[in-house]
Amino acid sequence: MFFRLRKEATLRSAVRFAGIGVHSGIYTNVTVLPSRDGAGITFKRTDIKHGSSIIELSPMSVVDPTMCTRIVNKDGVSVAVIEHLLAALRICKITNAEVEVDSGEIPILDGSAIEFVNAFKQSGIVFQSSLVPTIRISEPISVSYKSAHISIKPSNKQKCSVTLDYDRINPVIGKSNSYSFNFNDDLEDMAQARTFGWIADYDKVRALGFAKGASEDNTIVITEDSFIKNKEGLRNKREIVMHKCLDLIGDFSTLGYDILGEITAINPSHYANNLLMKTLLKESYKHDIIAGKQDNVSELLQVA
């Protein structure tokens, strides 16, 4: 059986976004620019005048992934809430881009990734000559953190199954607590899934310096009696678990490789997602890494 390696890709033209930061409350401008073949995804803080403004994307550059995913460089320059943008790039199959941002946080927009996806598609996508580096999982790998457990087992598919199962979420979503997808599927429905939070946590989270820009315009708000406060309700009955899938796609994108294997995630979180990516990077010698140019690496990889 064969698995087809995909080509790297970039945007046809620059795309611009602007909006509020869900945690900082700061109005922010972002420009996503085309980039050369093999460059990967990089971030640049245009408001930084001293020291390095470039932040390389890697699981090792992620710090304190509690309420979001934040990356930092050696000079302490960081950018947060990158996960929805990264998920949109992966959904659109874009592997090479430079993200310019004039504050420390990517704007939340409507709380999902759909505005990013729509803009990228409108710009157009240019496929390049290199093949996307791929890690073929050779032996099972897993991590656990609090209620989260995520594992990857060898497979000839890029399949992922996510399940939410904890006391607080169960009354809200009932049986709509699981979702499965392939990374190369059309994931536009998932891109529309918004972030969510509980009213009961709002004051505590703000006291910690988060959620200063959160509102019903960008967050699914859950009441103390487990109802959705937003007037329009959920966009679909699995929106909450689908948003966890979206976060996982974005967080896994920090690795810079496609993963050939079957992923199972129970109660995934930014912390657990990053822990798995760091573990996979450190233990990459245990697995098969396939990378190269189209002219010297077959587009078809034989798998068991």
Q: Which of 23, 84, 243, 270 is catalytic?
A: 270
Element housing 252 (H / E) = helix 239-252
4 - beta bridge partners? 300
Closest CA to 254 of 288, 237, 279: 279
Contacts of residue 264, Cβ cutoff 8 Å, sequence gap at least 6: 150, 151, 152, 153, 160, 161
50 classed as catalytic:
no
Neighbours of 44 (CB within 10 A): 18
Token pair of 100, please? 């310019």
Closest CA to 192 of 119, 249, 115, 251: 115
Token pair of 223, please? 């009441």
Closest CA to 42 of 93, 103, 12, 85: 85
Indicate the residue type of 174: G
- 8 in Cβ contact with 126 (< 8 Å): no
* Dist. CA 281–CA 65, nearest whole Å: 17
Q: Indicate the angle between helix axes 83-91 and 114-123, nearest 10 degrees.
A: 40
Residues carrying an active site annotation: 270
